Structure 1
Amino acid sequence: MKNLFRYFFMVIAISSIVFTSCKDDTDPTASVNPAETLMDYLIEIDMDLNHVLKNSDGQKFVMAAPDGGDVSGKYIIDIRNADAYNTSHIAGAHNVAFSDILTEAASADKPILVVCYTGQTACYATSLLRLYGYHDAQALKWGMSGWSESTAASWDNAIADLSDGHSNWSFDASEPSLGVYDIPEFSTTATEGVDILKERVEYIISQGFKGVEASDVLDSPASYFVNNYFNTTDYSAFGHVDGAYRLNPLLVSPGSSDEAGVSNIDPDKKVVTYCYTGQTSAVITAYLRVLGYDAYSLKFGMNKFANSSTAWSANQWRGDSNPKDLPLD
């Protein structure tokens, strides 16, 4: 009888282990990385990074100041400080702090045009506005610097040739091999993709623009995961930060083997993206921060590294790109 009871309790114990294990394997309440839920949702609503850079209507995230300065078809949000705005601004512009762009956007009765000093913070804001549902929001290219000679100082004072003769600047055409990493994790009170996205955008806006100085990256490139957002030709012709990757295009869900995905980004490093002007990299940086990456936009891009380079053909400040002489209030 004693052996029978011992056998009975052994069966119960084994059964408990088996059923508990099965339950753990299929438990629908098991924790899911919210970044994964968010990425799945972005794919579902067709808002991978390429459709933030250019929306479904083919409209880019940035627009140049129009000849004649007619932007009457836009709801202009000027996020410069009040002193700069009060000195001069585009007629009809609404001056608000960057942190208040969603509140102001809710009052917009036209497609939004965000304006700042150089276009960089405005592009950062535009990325977040598009993710929030304002898919036709745009930034003014070059910011107020491109609008008028009288407001061009922000770009004029920024251009440089930091890469000239620097030991960490390379013209090597070979690109480093990409690794594959886990996606980042972040905390959220939401569980559904739509709510996670809303909460993340609001949080990233509350943190303000995230940029990094070109000199810091050039002096210590190993401290960052550096993405050179150039095409293949410019990567070698213009030169690049030594060891920089070239993730272009960069997508949540790559469609082919020659496209880079966010899983190729090391989530344990500060992720720095640079482009030609710091404007495209600002869009990418805001998007990556929403996904949970510790991302930064390299300020002024190639125009800070090598503004005098003869390899330029487009987007060179005071080269092919100069301020206009448009009206100001």
Structure 2
Amino acid sequence: MKHKNLFGLFIIILLSALMVFNTGCKKDESNPVDPTPQVNETEVLLKHFEETNDYIHNIPSFVVSASDVRTLQLTNPSKQLLIDIRAAADFAAGRIEGAVNVPFNGLWDYMKNVNPANYDRIVIICYSGQTSAYATSLIRAMGGFGSKVVSLKWGMSSWDSVFAQNYWLAKRSNIRAGQFVQTPSPAKNPKGDLPKLNTGKKTAPEILEARIKALLAEGYPAATISENTLYSNLSNYYIVNYWSPALYLNPGHIDGAINYDPSTQPFKSTNDLKTLPTNKTTVLYCFTGQTSSYVGAYLRLLGYDVKSLTYGANSMIYDLMLAGNVPNTFIPANEIKGYPYITGN
């Protein structure tokens, strides 16, 4: 009898345990653990720019003339930091006195140790002004530098003619003068989705750091295209003309290019940013390749596949620009200053 009672008690305890276990399982099934919220990295980064550091639209000119650099070099050199991002061999062959040589892909680490309060101006220097414009955009995106960071307009080509021989003196061309058209602008794309960034980061500062480092690592050439490559198949690209409507019509534009008027701030999210395609390469062109490099860096940070047309319209319709007094035509007598430079390691 005693054994029967013990057995019955055991059965009751076992059934109770099973009921508790079953209830717990049901509770777990009805209240599953919420998955980690998905972060739309592009939206996070775009919001950061437009609300915190809208440098593309709100900071003054990104370029400085050789004459302005020379003036401060002579009057107060300690207040001007000159960062030359050309190859070490070219830096040794000739440079502005006082410049430091920093590789393009080392700019993040170098700039993190620069205190902008120590300088009136921080000048990024390259061969033609295009790579330095791209770098200036990425450094301004870092935050904290603002308008103090500028690109030497025309690069070392503006300092002395010896530096311009293989760059601005060699790149002016009329090769597309007969192919530019003066037709009205085609319509922009309908607004679509933003690109999808996938850095694996969650906050704006983390995403921004990852993107800047990625663009520095891939190098400037990845963000460019030549007129020859572009014209080999115009239909492969979404071509953006970044001029005023008046200049779009005269001297004209690449056939099929769509006018994005800079004065309308087209690359704000509330304007025309989302008309840029996410499934096709966008070619952005200006007069010199400098503005398109500066703006292109911003768009590439957001994940757009944007390439700057090297040397801009100067490489395609130089004489038309010269005849029409078009702004930013490279005129050697005006732009090359013949300033002194030093050599050696």
- Asked if Structure 1 and Structure 2 have the same fold, meaning a TM-score greater than 0.5 normalized by the shorter chain, the answer is yes
Give the % identical residues.
30
Q: What secondary structure does 2:240 align onto?
A: strand
Give the whole-Å Cα distance in 1 for the aligned partners of 2:205 and 2:151. 24
* CA deviation string 1:141-189 (max 9, x = no partner): 00000111222211111111121223xx321133334321111002112
Structural mapping, 1:150-229, within 5 Å: 150-153=162-165, 154-166=167-179, 169-209=180-220, 210-229=223-242
**What code does the residue aligned with 1:127 have?**
S
Asked if the contact 1:120–1:282 (Cα under 8 Å) also holds between the matched residues in 2, the reply is yes
Q: What secondary structure does 1:127 align onto?
A: helix
Give the whole-Å Cα distance in 2 for the aligned partners of 1:88 and 1:201. 29
**What code does the residue aligned with 2:51 have?**
E
Give the whole-Å Cα distance in 2 for the aligned partners of 1:104 and 1:31. 33
* CA deviation string 1:90-137 (max 9, x = no partner): 011001211011222234342321000000000000000000122221
Asked if the contact 1:314–1:320 (Cα under 8 Å) also holds between the matched residues in 2, the reply is no
Structure 1 residue aligned with 2:330: 317
Give the whole-Å Cα distance in 1 for the aligned partners of 2:285 and 2:159. 24
- Is there any run of 5+ residues in structure 1 with no aligned partner, and where? 1-15, 255-259
Give the whole-Å Cα distance in 1 for the aligned partners of 2:69 and 2:214. 38
Asked if the contact 2:67–2:337 (Cα under 8 Å) also holds between the matched residues in 1, the reply is no
Give the whole-Å Cα distance in 2 for the aligned partners of 1:324 and 1:165. 32
Deviation of 1:244 after TM superposition, in Å, equals: 0.9
Higher helix proportion: 2
Structure 2 residue aligned with 1:33: 40
Give the direction of change, closer, same or farther, for the CA distance of 1:30–1:68 in structure 2 (3 Å limit): closer
- Select which of 232, 257, 263 maps to 1:244: 257
* CA deviation string 1:208-231 (max 9, x = no partner): 112100122133221111110000
From the CA coordinates, give the structure whose radius of gyration is larger. Answer: 2
Structural mapping, 1:1-329, within 5 Å: 29-47=36-54, 49-51=56-58, 55=59, 59-66=60-67, 69-70=70-71, 71=73, 72=77, 73-108=79-114, 109-110=118-119, 111-133=121-143, 134-135=145-146, 136-153=148-165, 154-166=167-179, 169-209=180-220, 210-248=223-261, 249-254=265-270, 260-309=271-320, 310-318=323-331, 321-329=334-342
Give the direction of change, closer, same or farther, for the CA distance of 1:75–1:107 in structure 2 (3 Å limit): farther
**What code does the residue aligned with 1:94 have?**
V
Give the whole-Å Cα distance in 1 for the aligned partners of 2:249 and 2:240. 14
TM-score, length-scaled by structure 2: 0.80
Q: How many residues align?
A: 296
Give the whole-Å Cα distance in 1 for the aligned partners of 2:108 and 2:53. 21
Structure 1 residue aligned with 2:12: none
- Is there any run of 5+ residues in structure 2 with no aligned partner, and where? 1-26
Q: What secondary structure does 2:319 align onto?
A: coil
User: For structure 1, which segment, 172-181 or 284-293, has the greater mean C-alpha deviation from structure 2 after superposition?
Assistant: 172-181
